[in-house]
Amino acid sequence: MLTKQKQDFAKWYNEVILSADLAEYSPVKGCMIIKPYGYAIWENIQKNLDNEIKNLGVKNVYFPLFIPEKFLKKEAEHIKGFAPQVAWITQGGNKKLQERLAVRPTSETIINDAFKKWIQSYRDLPLKINQWANIVRWEMRPRLFLRTLEFLWQEGHTAHKTEKEADEMAKTALKMYHDFVQNWLGIYCVSGKKTEAEKFAGALYTLSVESLMKDGKALQMGTSHQLGQNFSKSFGIQFLDEKGKKNYVWQTSWGVSTRMIGGLVMAHGDDGGLILPPRIAPYQIVIIPISQDKSVKNYILKIEKILKNIRFYIDWNRQQTPGWKFHEWELKGVPVRIEIGPKEVKAGKITFVLRNALKREIVELKQFKPEKILNDLQKQLLEKSKKFTEDNTHQVRSYQEFKDTIKKKGGFIKAFWCGDEKCEKKIQQETKATIRCIVKDNKLGGCIKCGKEAKSEVLFAKAY
């Protein structure tokens, strides 16, 4: 039995991931092994997000895992941000290296070195590429999927003629993530700009997609950075414009990672285990034969024909009882379970249970419409997630109320902020809440911390 969410959410999270066979820790501290069931979820995310990325006219490439130290150092903010997290290669094939190599913590620098050669004229712009790759950031407090020394991600990198074009690209990528998280993962999210303190090391500004987990903490699901001309100036990426004038390109980068799987677990799961959205679930339907009679087998053959567009699995395992299997597939979060025994065969019916509701339904075989059921389920998950987020988004009038709310309720707190990093830091020190994103510029209020005229309305939350 799993630990209850209310009792210890972090423990529940770990237990679900291990017992549903998504992943496990490896003997290399901080690294994880993604097991078949977890990797199948990643493959579904990857395949469908890859389509969206390609629809933006972005092309896939592959850049080296290793980055020369001097590249990382070219953009001052960038190296400052990433240096404490870098794994270094100092030895190759029995020889000590003259210059050590970083294992990529992100690829802006090595990609920009290539962009410098690839970009000559305005005709080479916009340049839009993406790669699916493994990333290493030295991590001292690892948590499966959420924070691991190595993780899998995609990173988009683009170069543009103007600031406006790069602004638009950063927004477009963010919208793609926002829609993907809502429409595929069924998780409601809010988008906005990060504060200066929270932006990507080397960016002009960072946009992010944030979702609320069931324990009231926020998870950053994806980020999109307007890099300005910071990297193009460090790396000397210039183009000749239509008038023959040299200009530095404007750039963006944006990414999501295997962390999204952690989000899936924490946004939908319950005390019984995972609840997977149908569009991403490795199996959308599982069929549990109540007996192994010939008539049951033949009847299931008939059902298989109705499921030809569905990812399904028939659990014929003779070692386990149907009851054990119900429990197991609930734990694994399969959206729909079908139970077929002699009773169903005789009546020409189908018994099924929706993972989200855990209520048994019985219908005539002819009236069983799996596509519709799965579509409805997908929508319900998003609605539920939206309602949960709205119910747990609080407006507060005083800093005392802020502190009480964060402590007792968690969730998002919408509040005014003066824009001063000192207030931001103090709030974090006192409450552990950080500004997840700036919702909008709004001066019609006082800063929740210092009371001075606000600059913007922001969302606070404790976050992963």
141 lies in the binding site for a copy of itself (CB under 8 A): no
String of contacts with a copy of itself for each residue 316-355, x by CB under 8 A = ---x------------------------------------
C-alpha 428/C-alpha 433 separation (Å) is 5
For residue 216, the 8-state DSSP code is S
The total of other beta-carbon atoms located within 10 Å of residue 60's CB is 13
Distance CA 203, CA 170 (A): 11
Provide the mask over 349-388, with x wherever binding to a copy of itself is found by CB under 8 A and - wherever it is not.
----------------------------------------
Contact status: 426 vs a copy of itself (CB under 8 A): no
Residues of span 73-102 touching a copy of itself by CB under 8 A: 83-94, 100-101
Our CB check for a copy of itself shows the closer of 90 and 429 to be: 90
- Given strand 312-314, what is the order of strands in its sheet? 312-314, 285-289, 336-340, 349-354, 360-364
34 binds a copy of itself (CB under 8 A): yes
The yes or no reply on residue 153 touching a copy of itself (CB under 8 A) is no
Binding residue (CB under 8 A) for a copy of itself from 1, 123, 243, 372: 123
Task: Tell me the window of 1-9, 65-73, 218-226, 322-330 that interacts with a copy of itself (CB under 8 A).
Answer: 65-73
In angstroms, the CA 416 to CA 451 distance is 9
197 makes contact with a copy of itself (CB under 8 A)? no
* Nearest to a copy of itself of 119, 340 (CB atom): 119
Give the residue among 258, 243, 329, 249 at the shortest CA–CA distance from 289: 329
Neighbouring CB atoms inside 10 A of 76's CB total 12
* 318/440 with CB nearer a copy of itself: 318
Residues constituting the chain: 464
Closest distance between a copy of itself and the C-beta of residue 236, in Å?
Answer: 14
Q: Which stretch binds a copy of itself (CB under 8 A): 149-157, 188-196, 215-223, 307-315?
A: 149-157
Which residues, in sequence order, are CB contacts of 164 under 8 Å at separation 6+? none
Judged by CB under 8 A, which stretch of 148-156, 239-247, 269-277, 413-421 contacts a copy of itself?
Answer: 148-156
Q: How far is the CB of 323 from a copy of itself (least distance, A)?
A: 19
Position 61 contacts a copy of itself (CB under 8 A): yes
Task: Evaluate whether 21 touches 36 at the Cβ level (below 8 Å).
Answer: yes
Q: Which two tokens stand for residue 345?
A: 């065969």
**244 touching a copy of itself, by CB under 8 A:** no
- Three-state DSSP class for residue 85: helix
Task: Please state, as a whole number, how many other Cβ atoms lie within 10 Å of the Cβ of residue 440.
Answer: 9
Examine residue 285 and tell whether it contacts a copy of itself (CB under 8 A).
Answer: no
Q: Is 43 in the site for a copy of itself (CB under 8 A)?
A: yes
Is 152 a binding residue for a copy of itself by CB under 8 A? The answer is yes
Beta strand spans in 104-148 (E): 127-136
Q: Say if residues 416 and 446 touch (Cβ distance below 8 Å).
A: yes
- Cβ-count burial 19-35 (b if 16+ within 10 Å, e if not): ebebbebeeeebebebe
Q: Closest separation between CB of residue 263 and a copy of itself, Å?
A: 18
Nearest CB to a copy of itself, comparing residues 37 and 455: 37
User: In this structure, what are the phi and psi dihedrals at residue 67, rounded to the nearest 5 degrees?
Assistant: -125, 125
d(CA 229, CA 202): 10
Question: Which residues, 6+ apart, have CB-to-CB distance to 129 below 8 Å?
Answer: 58, 59, 60, 61, 111, 156, 157, 158
Q: How far is the CB of 130 from a copy of itself (least distance, A)?
A: 10
Is residue 159 within the footprint of a copy of itself (CB under 8 A)?
A: no
| Position among 71, 184, 200, 299 found at the interface with a copy of itself (CB under 8 A) | 71
Q: Please tell me whether residue 136 binds a copy of itself under the rule CB under 8 A.
A: yes
Distance CA 276, CA 299 (A): 27
CB of 181 to a copy of itself, least distance (A): 22
Radius of gyration in angstroms for the set of CA atoms belonging to the chain, rounded to a whole number? 25
Which residues of the shown chain bind a copy of itself in the complex (CB under 8 A)?
24, 26-28, 31-36, 39-40, 42-43, 59-68, 71, 83-94, 100-101, 103, 110, 113-114, 123, 129, 133-134, 136, 138, 140, 149-150, 152, 319
